[in-house]
A and B are shown apart, each in its own frame.
Chain A
Amino acid sequence: MKNRSVSLALALSLLSAAGMLSAADIPDRPEKLHYPPLTYEPPRPADYRVALQSGPIAYIVPDRTLPLVTVSVTVRTGSYLEPKGREGLADFTGNLLVRGGAGSKSAEELEERLAFLAATLNSSIGDDSGSVSLNLLSKDLPEGLALLRDALTAPRFQQDKLDLYRQQAIQAMKQRNDDSATIHARETESLAYGTNFWACRETTGASVAAITADDLRAFHRQWFHPANFTVAVSGDVDRTAILAKLEELFANWPFTGVKPGPIPTDTKMAEPGVYVVNKDVNQGRVTVLLPGVKRDDPDFPAITVMNDILGGGGFTSRIMNRVRSDEGLAYGAGSSFPGGWTYAHAFQAGFETKSRTVAYATRIVLDEMAHMTEAPVSDEELNTTKRSFIDSFPGTFNTKARIAGQFATDELTGRFAKDPEYWQKWRGRIEAVTKDDVSRVAKERLHPDRAVILVVGQKEEILKGHPDHPVKLEQLAGGKLSELPLRDPLTLEPLPPTPPKPTP
């Protein structure tokens, strides 16, 4: 049946359309199918890249099929630049840049106008970059660009909107101990990088109370300058016309900013051991931490492949197969080995399971990590991972906004300068990873005996373990088990253990 002729295919389709065909032509295994060839070349940054005379690098990806435009300005700034005692300043500046009025418009007027145009103008500042993004119908682009310029150069930081955002921030802080997932995320960061590391500094009631409108103005003027911008434009634009508009957008900047210094990288992982936060929920959340990697590490492709086989690849990964499919212990289970671009992001493996099987499932994950270091992966595993990365690659650039956005990000993080052919070479680098590479990086990077293990859940139930699986949590990771306190949601000072329930 392999070499069906065209006429046979036609006949078959007629028969099947008439509902008269049995399964005769359908092979019993998918390997017997044959596919037409598919070639794909990723877009090249150089085709879209323009150095604007007004300062920023811009990526223009026209797409005239829909009357929509996205203009996105990425800003070299971040919460790492916040002064001590003003934690939250970057986030506040990012939000209020567009929510607190701009230029001749009050916050209320700006919101009404954007809403009437069905335009979105959003802004945020994260750990190590900021973004101001406009999306609207192309007929409204001139007006939209004027509003964008106002937001970038003349935000009003209206006091009532600052007070409102502060109130919202404080009330959000009060929920910090409500969800075990929130507690878990916070303590994971602290254990992985140390509470003194900038990315682990948290807002407090006092730090956001101290933020004034003048602080926002100073932070904005310091970093929001064309020299710190990269720009991504996609959608219904003509390249030449939009370039002229962008030059106008960034010309004659009313103030001079400064270039931020390097992003600190002084992380410090906690001592190996098991750390438990007691929280009254019937499912324990577990993360196994190890030191991570930067994405420009020459081993990063091999590490990516190794992690995919261990726990990154979903249902084709070992951790998912063992913890979920075999044992039914968790809904989600897996690992990640993300490459940081500024500092090494930690390796994490994790899952959630009922209290009594926390120790058992943790043992399985540690065993799978050890197994990666002890025996080579199978040909099939390696092939699945490589084909998956390589053949799903076109999805990376599946919208015009993503093409422009990815290239602008590469510009900001320096990847384009360092490795301009990165996307052209990416599939080849994955293809080149061998079984030996996978074994070598596993041996170098995976050390279950030195892991930092965080568990959030009902401590007493979790420590009981399960009668069918005689492993105890306190036996894992070198046998050191300590309890981490819950933290006061507004000060982050340690809280005493939950008071015992009063007798009725």
Chain B
Amino acid sequence: MKRLLSTVSAGLLLAGPVLAQQIPVVEKRLPNGFRLLLVERHEEPRIAGGWVAHVGSANERPGITGIAHLFEHMMFKGTPTVGTKDARRDLEIIDEQEALRDQMRDEESKMRTALRKGEVTEITSPEARTGRYKELEEKFKKLVEEERGLLVKNEFDRIYTTAGASKMNAFTTEDMTGYFIEVPANKLELWAWMESERLFHPVFREFYAERDVVFEERRMRTESTPVGRFYEQFNAMFWDAHPYNWPVLGWPSDIPAISKKQADEFYALYYQPQNITLMLVGDFKSAEAEEMVGRYFGRIPKGTQPPPEVITLEIPSYAEKRYNAEAETNPQIDVLWRTVASGHKDSYALEVLEQLLNGRTGRLYKGLVLGKQVSTEVSAGHSAKKWAGYFEISAEAKDGKTLEEVEDAVYAELDPLGREPVPAEELQKVKNNFAAAEYRRLTSTFGILYRLIFAEGLGDWHEINEAGARIQSVTPEDVKRVANQYFNKENRAVGHYLRKAGSGAAGDEDPEIAALSPEQKPMARQLIGSLNQEQDPARLKELLARMQTQASQGDPKRQQLAKIIRHKVEQRLAELEPKK
């Protein structure tokens, strides 16, 4: 492995020279357009293999959002010879299923009309189905039953698993779709066979069951988590024009409407050889691997029309945006600024800036958690995507501190970065960590594959070897300049998340409730929960008046409870009618 000396700014007496470690990548191009990246490593008898398709949710359009991700799922369903006992009948059934689905889509159109008219409230509930839809669904189920008789269930996975492969998975982002696996070193040819077969002629069997799986994934990741839906909406607010504004998982209306025909078109356009980069890292000889990959992947015809790139550029942000949510979470803020795409000349200074802010010795932790003590957790991150980027700072408020205090404290940390150059030692600390990370990333074969997939998916794998030197050459002036340029009010969106009242999680931290007897606590909590949801001051005043008249009655324990409730009513009133 080559080691090369990178440049370090002068005057840093505390640090020795920093060595940057290159990853020795061999790059090849197949005649049909595939790019191939090879990294030999002979530590263990395994090979990590993967490929990235240069397509993600940013390539979608309204109506089919989520298709890039659903498509990723479909790539595991097999080929004409893998996954079925009867390829011919299997394909016939798929066609018959599509014909039925076309009729079902007509009914789905009627169901959407019923939804618009308010005749049903939830289009996916079993009660929303029309009579005709149910009949068609019964017929469809019969075809599924017949197909199931021919299926060799998840055979694509079974072949790999039986061969001792592991870690098989895939992922989809806004920019890319990555597929990866690790195989024993003697089974490189199996990898070439399996991956070229599914790229050459995938069969999208069980399409509609898998579409349901994807909707369950959406429920799991976004809809049934405390803040998933809010983050999704905040993201949609952040991007005005750019297709990054819809979720990778797709909108809930779109996922159940995606058709197999649309998936076929998507495949033809975006899974052409010239839109895919293949990668191997591990225990093989490059010349042999190149020959094998050429033989297996070279047979896939080059596409006829180049896949379109994402044209829409984000428009400038003219005003600050604010998002105020109440969710089942501790109070927290999230601030996003528009920045730059991956590989932009400013992205390196922004990465350095991120690390100046992050960590237990970073400026945010020192300022917000240790210094002003307005926050318990805080983090910064620069996310440079393929077509655009953003810088994000998130912080949880310390109990008793307001989100406004937290937000002000964040700006107070950013402000000096735009006015004064960063001290040399502080900058060197950050650079030392980037330099050490160059080594740490080399400890795992799979880790190298993962980095290659991401760097290539964002536009250029060379970044894994070139970014290090660019980061080391960032100057205090660069940091000051980018802080000034991007951390502007007009350029940001601010999310405030308050704890939703009455979400059953307030706890006993309230000393007044803690003092009550165990029998009284539940009642007190329930009453306070209702009070906090009351929006009408007049009703609270009426309640207060009624309680005054009963104040002298009852035993001392009850009077104690009544006193607390009265206090809480007064507090809620003060919230609703703040003193001017």
Contact = CB atoms under 8 A, between A and B. Distances in A.
A494 to B, nearest CB: 8
A148 interface: no
Interface string A129-146: 000000111010000000
Contacts of A324: 213
Given A35-B190, A66-B443, A332-B220, A26 B299 contact: yes
A282 interface: yes
Contact of A67 (B125, B223, B439): B439
Nearest to A181: B225
Contacts of B291: 9, 13, 16-17
A315 B45 CA distance: 24
B209 A328 contact: yes
Contacts of B370: 164
B218 to A, nearest CB: 9
A50 interface: no
Given A16-B299, A316-B158, A486-B504, A328 B216 contact: yes
Contact of A331 (B43, B217, B429): B217
Interface stretch (A215-223, A289-297, A350-358): A350-358
Interface string B500-527: 0011111111000000001001110110
Nearest to B522: A496
B439 to A, nearest CB: 5
Interface stretch (B108-116, B178-186, B473-481): B178-186
A432 interface: no
Contact of A499 (B219, B226, B295, B530): B530
Contacts of A502: 530, 533-534
A13 B295 contact: yes
Interface size class of B (residues with CB under 8 A): 35 or more
Contacts of A315: 76, 154, 157-158, 161
Contact of B162 (A33, A180, A320, A384): A384
A252 interface: no
A54 interface: no
B216 A353 contact: yes
Interface residues of A, number: 105
A68 B161 CA distance: 34
Contacts of B19: 67
B458 to A, nearest CB: 25
A398 B185 CA distance: 13
B220 A495 contact: no
Nearest to B296: A26
A490 interface: yes
A488 B508 contact: yes
A375 interface: no
A489 B329 CA distance: 12
A21 interface: yes
Contact of A174 (B162, B330, B359, B432): B330
B161 A116 contact: no
Given A16-B295, A324-B213, A328-B208, A167 B399 contact: yes
Given A331-B217, A390-B164, A33 B190 contact: yes
Interface string A11-29: 0110011110111011111
B15 to A, nearest CB: 8
A354 B223 CA distance: 11
B211 interface: yes
B508 A395 contact: no
Contact of B507 (A390, A491, A498, A499): A491
Interface in B162-208: 162-167, 182, 184-187, 189-190, 193-194, 196, 206, 208
A30 B194 contact: yes
A16 B294 contact: yes
B158 A384 contact: yes
24 contacts: A13-B294, A16-B291, A18-B31, A19-B31, A19-B32, A28-B81, A65-B43, A112-B429, A118-B437, A170-B509, A171-B399, A179-B328, A180-B224, A281-B223, A316-B161, A354-B219, A384-B158, A387-B164, A391-B163, A392-B184, A398-B43, A491-B508, A496-B523, A496-B526
When A and B form their complex, which 4 residue pairs have the shortest distance between CB atoms, in order from nearest? A391-B164, A328-B212, A19-B31, A328-B209
Given A37-B186, A116-B429, A397-B44, 13 more contacts: A33-B193, A35-B186, A111-B361, A112-B361, A137-B439, A139-B16, A168-B376, A330-B213, A331-B220, A394-B46, A395-B44, A398-B446, A502-B530
